[in-house]
Amino acid sequence: ARDSVMSSLSGAARVSYTQSYPCLVQLHALREVEEFSLSLETGEKRDQSLDHVVSSSEWRDRLSITIPDATGSNAIINSRLAISRLMDNPSIEGGMWLDVGKLSRKGRLYQVAEHSLAQADVSLSKCLMKEMKSSTTVSALTSESMG
């Protein structure tokens, strides 16, 4: 994947920075996927690994310097959302949607911000339901073990 983006970047860079910007963003997105896969290889627990990578300053800074439009932050955001969905972690996904909403609002992309906040609501609701189910299961197990 990196070679494909690099060859596109090589051609686009000869034309202008504007043409090469989407390729640079794709490289950032690939780097984030690589960082995440490396953290999994170190043997960290899945959720701890995702939390660690997502909360890193590199990830926060990377998104803050992109342009909040279709050619800017979308590739990075989409790869992050895909990782959080693969890891089945709705709380991190919800946090990412909130970040997208904030960036979109700052970029005056109000419809995108509204959609992002709605998606955050869905993700965080899933998280709440997941927690409620696990606490109900724990309560049931505790009641059974106590007699």
What's the pLDDT at 81?
Answer: 84
What's the pLDDT at 139?
Answer: 53
Average pLDDT, the chain: 74
Q: Decide: 2 and 30 in contact? Cβ < 8 Å.
A: yes
Task: Report pLDDT digits (tens) over 90-123.
Answer: 888 888 888 888 888 888 889 988 998 999 999 8
What percentage of the chain reaches a pLDDT higher than 90?
5
How distant is the alpha carbon of residue 65 from its chain centre?
15
| DSSP helix, strand, coil percent of the chain (3-state; round to 5) | 85, 0, 15
Record the pTM: 0.62
What's the pLDDT at 84?
Answer: 80
Q: Decide: 97 and 123 in contact? Cβ < 8 Å.
A: yes
pLDDT confidence band for 45 (50 / 70 / 90) = low
Kindly report each contact of residues 95-98 with a partner whose C-beta sits within 8 Å and lies 24 or more positions away, as own/partner: 95/54, 95/120, 96/54, 97/123
Contacts of 50 (CB under 8 A, 6+ apart): 36, 83, 84, 87, 89, 92
Contacts of 44 (CB under 8 A, 6+ apart): 52
Sole residue written with tokens 């034309």 = 15
- Range in 15-19, 21-25, 53-57 with the lowest mean pLDDT: 53-57
